[in-house]
Every structure is written in C-alpha cells, then in structure tokens.
C-alpha cells in the first residue's frame, strides 16, 4: 500500500478538490477551523516542493449566512447571488490562511465554455501555467454567478478531473465528507471500505444515495471524476477532508484509484471529455474497424452520412450505422463540403477537385477512440 501511495507523495503537481459540506458546519455556514486545517495540509505539500492546485466548492454556502438564507436556494438567481457574495469571502479566507505560510493564492473562476471551446481552453492553460510558475496556489471554482442550468459542469468533481488534465496534474485528491469508497452506503451495516480500485468499471457498489444537502455531488460524481482521471493515467485518492493531511502525506487511508490508461495529450483529453461536438459522421463497418482497431485516420470513402452543421476544426462524433459512438475527432472539412466526398477515395478527389482534397477527413492524431464499453448511442 505504501508503494501505491508514493504516486501521491511523489507527484510533482497535485490537484485537490474539496466539497462544500467539508468546509461548512451543520448550519451550512463556513467553518474557519475546517478551512484552516485544509490549508495547513496543502501548505505542507508545497513545503515538500510539490505544486498545488485547489478546486474548492463553498462559494454559495459561504454566501448563505450574510444573505440571511437558512438553506441552499432553489432558484437560479438566488444561487448566483449567494455565490457572488460568498466567493469573495471564501477566497479572502484562503488568502489570509495561505499567507501565514508565505504563499499567495490566485482565484480562477471557470465556466463550462472555458473548457468546451478550444481557444478558451488554451487561454485557461496559459493562466494556470503562469500562476504556477510564479509560485501561486490557484483556487478554482465554477463561475456560479454566470453559469446557467443548461451549460455548466454541474458539480466540482467533474471540474476537478478536467482541470487535472488541463494543468498536467500527476495526482488528483477528492476530499469529501466520507472517509473512503464503501461497498454500500456507509450507513449500511454491511458496508466495507475499499482500499484500492484497479478498474472503476469492475466495481459493484451502491452509489444511489445523494450527497450532503449543502453540496451538489454524491459518490457517483466522484466515481465519474475518477474514471476521467484514471483513464488518462492520473491516480486518484478519495477520502474525507478531515483526513487531508494523512492522505496528502501518503498514509494508508481513503481509497486509491489506480490509473487504467496512459497519459494523453491535452488536446485529446479536451476532445474526449470537455469538447462540445457540432455534428456526426456516420461510418460504414470498414471505417469503424479501421478507426477503432487499426488506429487509422478517417477517409471520405468510409463515410456514409453527414449530420449537423460544423466548420473545419470543429469536434464531431464518429458513429457506426447502428448509432454507437465509436470516437470523437477534429474534422478537416466544413459540413457542406463533405456530402459530395462521401464514398470517394482521396486520390479520386484530388484528381477531380484539386490537391487540397488529398487529405484525411479526421487525422488519427486528432481522434480519440472510445472504449468498447462506452460505444453506445448518445442522445
């Protein structure tokens, strides 16, 4: 177990996510003692020479007290107002506590659009890179003051996994109000903690019961975040915020999720988990086999149908004729160009239309294939 934990203590860059319920008291009000203990644990990580990025919930919860609200509001405007008031209080508290350790914090508020659009994604990467170069501890949260129901991360667990990819984290630590992943809900008498998970998709656990009232995520969202991270080579540790110091010191507590895949380029991880696709290309059986098994580029000859409107450079889904999503890729043509190219070879297209058509529809370097278990139709 100690060797496995070295993946955390030996990480050059650690991303830590903490939930609202781990930062507040029973009334839902910000708890200064909990935040102080967390900051002390993170400062110890920095003292070991590791970079730290913190994804922190709690802005909305921090704003409830000052606004005289007794519980989390249901309407969007009230949620945004509470987040607006609470975000400054939360970051101000972090700034003061990290300052005791001689560390400076920087606030980074993201919307789903900031990771869904490739140009925004690159801008966010530049910001994080410079902050970390300057020795700053980035404090990240979703920008709840402008996020809408229709287009948002939904919870900071998924945000944390996406930011872990963005900043090139070597480990992801998910802090919650439970001390590990259990075989059933922790309240069940037969529930047992799970120390190590080799593959999330082989798990048989009960995650139906939702998280704490003050937060938005439950165990299911944490498993989704762990699946995203481990699939691209990032180990994940799940445990309670009270155990933060022990977890970050590599002690055998919580649950360790081992990487199931290799680390991929940021562009491919953005394409797989953060991009919003603009359309679909329907592939014949031969093209599906070439893309998924031979890792080949997609050529016009293998396309049977074009769906949706998109421009060259946009992300699109590649689907089989039965409707299963087999891959995502960055397309090299506009949607109005492709119908005339369907079923034709690149050699033929180059002869008839010009040399600029002698290229792939989706190059293999701009394509990410879905795992077999994920290849099913999407709405």
**pTM: predicted TM-score of the whole model, two decimal places:** 0.81
Confidence of residue 226 (pLDDT cuts 50, 70, 90): very high
Taking 90 as the threshold, does the pLDDT of residue 101 lie above it? yes
Taking 60 as the threshold, does the pLDDT of residue 151 lie above it? no
The class level of CATH for 277-374 reads mainly beta
In CATH, what number does 2-268 get? 3.40.1160.10
Predicted pLDDT at 214: 36
Residue with tokens 């480990």: 171
Taking 50 as the threshold, does the pLDDT of residue 215 lie above it? no
pLDDT tens digits for 312-344? 999 999 999 999 999 999 999 999 999 988 888
Under a CB-based contact definition with an 8 Å cutoff, are residues 333 and 356 in contact?
Answer: no
- Chain length of the chain: 379
Predicted pLDDT at 105: 97
Under a CB-based contact definition with an 8 Å cutoff, are residues 104 and 136 in contact?
Answer: yes
- The percentage of residues in the chain with a pLDDT greater than 70, rounded to a whole number, is 89
pLDDT tens digits for 114-123? 777 788 888 9
Go through 305-343 and write b for each residue having 16 or more CB atoms within 10 A of its CB, e for each that does not.
Answer: ebeeebeeebbbbbbbeeebbbbbbbbbbebebbeebbe
Write down the domain spans for the chain. Answer: 2-268, 277-374
Angle between the 32-47 and 76-99 helix axes, to the nearest 10 degrees?
50
pLDDT tens digits for 331-377? 999 999 999 888 888 778 777 776 677 788 999 999 999 865 544 44
Taking 50 as the threshold, does the pLDDT of residue 148 lie above it? no
Q: What is the mean pLDDT of the chain?
A: 85
What CA–CA distances, in Å, run from 107 to 51, 95, 322, 362?
16, 10, 46, 37
Judge if 2-268 and 277-374 fold alike in CATH terms: no
pLDDT tens digits for 154-181? 578 888 998 998 999 999 999 988 899 9
Confidence of residue 211 (pLDDT cuts 50, 70, 90): very low
pLDDT tens digits for 264-323? 777 887 888 878 899 999 999 999 999 999 999 999 889 999 999 999 999 999 999 999
């Amino acid at each position: 177990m100690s060797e496995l934990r070295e993946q955390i203590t030996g990480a050059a860059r650690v991303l830590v996510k903490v939930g609202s319920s781990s930062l507040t008291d029973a009334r839902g009000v910000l708890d200064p003692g909990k935040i102080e203990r967390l900051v002390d644990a993170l400062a110890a990580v920095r003292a070991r020479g590791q970079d730290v990025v913190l994804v922190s919930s709690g802005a909305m919860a921090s704003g409830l007290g000052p606004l005289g609200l007794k519980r989390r509001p249901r309407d969007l405007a009230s949620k945004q107002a509470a987040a607006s008031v609470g975000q400054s209080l939360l970051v101000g508290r972090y700034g003061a506590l990290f300052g005791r350790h001689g560390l400076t914090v920087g606030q980074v508020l993201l919307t789903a659009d900031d990771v869904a659009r490739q140009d925004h994604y690159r801008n966010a990467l530049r910001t994080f890179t410079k902050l970390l170069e300057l020795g700053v501890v980035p404090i990240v949260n979703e920008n709840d003051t402008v996020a809408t129901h229709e287009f948002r991360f939904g919870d900071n667990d998924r945000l944390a996994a996406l930011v872990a990819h963005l900043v090139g984290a070597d480990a992801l630590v998910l802090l919650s109000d439970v001390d590990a992943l259990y075989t059933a809900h922790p309240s069940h008498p037969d529930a047992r903690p799970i120390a190590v998970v080799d593959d999330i998709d082989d798990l048989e656990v009960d995650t139906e019961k939702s998280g704490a009232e003050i937060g938005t995520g439950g165990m299911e969202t944490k498993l989704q975040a762990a699946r995203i991270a481990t699939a691209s080579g990032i180990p994940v540790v799940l445990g309670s915020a009270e155990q933060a110091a022990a977890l970050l010191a590599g002690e055998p507590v919580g649950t360790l999720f081992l990487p199931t895949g290799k680390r991929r380029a940021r562009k491919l991880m953005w394409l797989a988990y953060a991009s919003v696709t603009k359309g679909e290309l329907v592939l014949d059986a031969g093209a599906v086999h070439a893309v998924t098994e031979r890792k080949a580029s997609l050529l016009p000859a293998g396309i049977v149908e074009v769906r949706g409107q998109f421009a060259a450079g946009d992300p699109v889904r590649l689907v089989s004729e039965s409707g299963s999503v087999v891959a995502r890729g960055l397309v090299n043509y506009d949607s109005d160009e492709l119908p005339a190219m369907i079923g034709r070879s690149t050699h033929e297209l180059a002869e008839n239309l010009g040399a600029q058509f002698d290229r792939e529809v989706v190059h293999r370097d701009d394509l990410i294939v879905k795992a077999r278990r994920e290849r099913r139709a999407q709405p």
